Amino acid sequence: MIRKTRLFTPGPTPLLPAAQFAMAAADIHHRTPEFRALYERVLAQLKAFIGTKNDVLLLASSGTGAMEASVSNLTSPGDRVLVLSAGKFGERWDALAKAFGCQVDLVSVPYGETFSPDAIRKALRPETRAVFVQATESSTGVRHDIQAIGALLKNSGNNALLIVDAITGLGTTHLDVDGWGIDVIIGGSQKAVMIPPGLAYLGLSDRAWKAAETSKNPRYYFDLRKERRNAQKGESSYTPAVALIAALGAALDFIAEQGGGDLAAGRNALIENAETCAAMTRAAVNALGLSLFASTAPSAAATAVLPPAGVDSGVIVKELKRRFAAIVTNGQGEMKGRIFRIAHIGLFDYMDTIAIIAALEQVSAASLNLPGFAFGKALAAAQQLYAERTGQAASVKAGEPEMAHA
Ligand SMILES: *Cc1c(COP(=O)(O)O)cnc(C)c1O
């Protein structure tokens, strides 16, 4: 059979066709009224997508650029900061903070787990200037409780800024950015907004802007103060990634359409979509007899799955690609071979989810030797869950043949 390549990866994610067309048509100069109109529109759309009253900035970089900008603009060498680390992206915060001379206190938990509020409370000091965390840790498939962390900071009377890498969190998990006291929220283009890599976006609270004024770090390309001044005039400091910005506008239009024209409603629909895809996948994995890696706090961004004992997860990754051109990701770094990850960020629907589950059944049948394996078990579990979650649960129960009702 022919094979159609499909990405099931936590960034880059599948591209929205309308966004690709917008990119191809975007041969406009960036110092023109046409571009200014586009830029102002997209920045306003991003604000609604994130759900914040604060200005949102766009940077021509991958997501890590905005992570770095938040460290370089909001801290000074010698500052005490707290990094909450539960995987590869948490470790990136640690490395970034150290690169800019911060004194880092670290709360770290084993891969696949999330933080206890107690450990965070104990690690907070009166002089802690900032707390860095992921909304969802894409390397392990875990969701962190940002609401609880925000409340904990508020109740402790600590003035630390809460800086959240929501690069795979935005569009997959509910985040009340201003209500929960998130001071910096960071997103990236190759995740839930369904366009290629190359753009980072971030929103800063008034408190964060004050910190940007007092930071002693040198800044040039990633000078957020300058970027904000320019954004207010509909411009970017340097040549913007015009084509990606046009694509982003089209993608945000699509997301708004999912909410009947309202971006916040569209974003909520996108989150619900990811939640449903993730729940279907978890049900399928359990029914197959495989185990979830992040079972206590699974995110809707990506589902991390443990291979059967003695099997390298790379075998499953390779077979899904070889037989079905389905691209799932292996574990990162020392997790390589120990898990595989199926993403649900952005443009994944029911059909994609059923397809990857069916392909996983085929690979299991041929290569995994799972006890009690039978075709259809994983699919039945996913189907049942989908029907219940979307309120379409008919009288037909899983495994009960249609004929029984005739
Ligand atoms: C993808 C991702 C990033 C950013 O990676 P870039 O390659 O710089 O875009 C950061 N954090 C998380 C949680 C991610 O999933």
> Which of 77, 365, 64, 81 is CA-nearest to residue 186?
64
Helix 224-231 and helix 63-74: axis angle, to 10°? Answer: 110
Q: Is residue 404 part of a domain?
A: no
Q: Is residue 343 part of a domain?
A: yes
Q: Are residues 268 and 245 in the same domain?
A: no
CATH assignment at residue 237: 3.40.640.10
CA dihedral 367, 373, 379, 380 (to 10 degrees): 180
Question: Which domain-ending residue is among 258, 290, 313?
Answer: 258
List, for the chain, all residue ranges whose pLDDT scores fall below the cut of 50: 401-406
Question: Which domain-ending residue is among 223, 258, 293?
Answer: 258
Q: How far is the CA of 382 from the centre of ligand 1 (A)?
A: 29
Question: Which domain-ending residue is among 210, 239, 258?
Answer: 258
- Residue 40 burial by CB count (10 A; 0-12/13-18/19+): exposed, middle or buried? middle
Q: Are residues 27 and 96 in the same domain?
A: yes
Q: Are residues 172 and 188 in the same domain?
A: yes
Q: How far is the CA of 16 from the centre of ligand 1 (A)?
A: 19
Testing ligand 1's pocket by substitution, the residue of 89, 111, 140, 186 carrying the most ligand atoms inside 8 A of its CB is 89
Q: Are residues 108 and 254 in the same domain?
A: yes
Q: Are residues 210 and 278 in the same domain?
A: no
Q: Is residue 405 part of a domain?
A: no
Q: How far is the CA of 122 from the centre of ligand 1 (A)?
A: 28
Testing ligand 1's pocket by substitution, the residue of 7, 9, 58, 62 carrying the most ligand atoms inside 8 A of its CB is 62
CA dihedral 28, 30, 34, 38 (to 10 degrees): 100
- Residue 205 burial by CB count (10 A; 0-12/13-18/19+): exposed, middle or buried? buried
Residue nearest to atom 2 of ligand 1 (CA): 167
| Tokens linked to 86 | 């539960």
pLDDT for position 371: 95
pLDDT for position 363: 98
Q: Are residues 248 and 268 in the same domain?
A: no
Testing ligand 1's pocket by substitution, the residue of 137, 165, 190, 202 carrying the most ligand atoms inside 8 A of its CB is 165
pLDDT in tens, 253-293: 999 999 999 999 999 999 999 999 999 999 999 999 999 99
Q: How far is the CA of 130 from the centre of ligand 1 (A)?
A: 20
Distance CA 136, CA 146 (A): 9
Q: What is the total count of domains within the chain?
A: 2
Q: How far is the CA of 63 from the centre of ligand 1 (A)?
A: 5
Distance CA 15, CA 208 (A): 33
Q: 184-188 and 161-165 as β-strands: parallel, antiparallel, unpaired?
A: parallel
Q: How far is the CA of 264 from the centre of ligand 1 (A)?
A: 23
Testing ligand 1's pocket by substitution, the residue of 9, 13, 64 carrying the most ligand atoms inside 8 A of its CB is 64
Write phi, then psi, for 341 (nearest 5 degrees): -125, 135
| Tokens linked to 63 | 């997501």
pLDDT for position 81: 98
Residue nearest to atom 3 of ligand 1 (CA): 63
Q: Are residues 305 and 369 in the same domain?
A: yes
pLDDT in tens, 378-405: 999 999 999 999 998 765 555 554 444 4
Q: Are residues 243 and 141 in the same domain?
A: yes
Q: Are residues 199 and 69 in the same domain?
A: yes
Q: Is residue 157 part of a domain?
A: yes
pLDDT for position 224: 98
Q: Are residues 35 and 172 in the same domain?
A: yes
Q: Are residues 173 and 292 in the same domain?
A: no
Q: Is residue 78 part of a domain?
A: yes
Q: Is residue 164 part of a domain?
A: yes
Q: Is residue 245 part of a domain?
A: yes
| pTM confidence score | 0.96
Measured CA distances, 108 to 18, 27, 90, 300 (Å) = 41, 46, 8, 22
Counting from 1 in the atom list of ligand 1, the atom nearest the Cα of 134 is 13
Residue nearest to atom 1 of ligand 1 (CA): 11
For 238, what's the count of Cα atoms within 13 Å in the CB-facing half-sphere? Answer: 9
Q: Which protein residues are within 6 Å of ligand 1, measured from CB?
A: 10-11, 62-64, 89, 134, 138, 165, 167-168, 188
CATH assignment at residue 354: 3.90.1150.10
Q: How far is the CA of 87 from the centre of ligand 1 (A)?
A: 12
Q: How far is the CA of 396 from the centre of ligand 1 (A)?
A: 42
Instruction: Judge contact between 71 and 103, C-beta under 8 A.
Output: no
Task: Give the range of the structural domain holding residue 168, as residue numbers without chain letter.
Answer: 17-258
Q: Is residue 372 part of a domain?
A: yes
Q: Are residues 247 and 272 in the same domain?
A: no
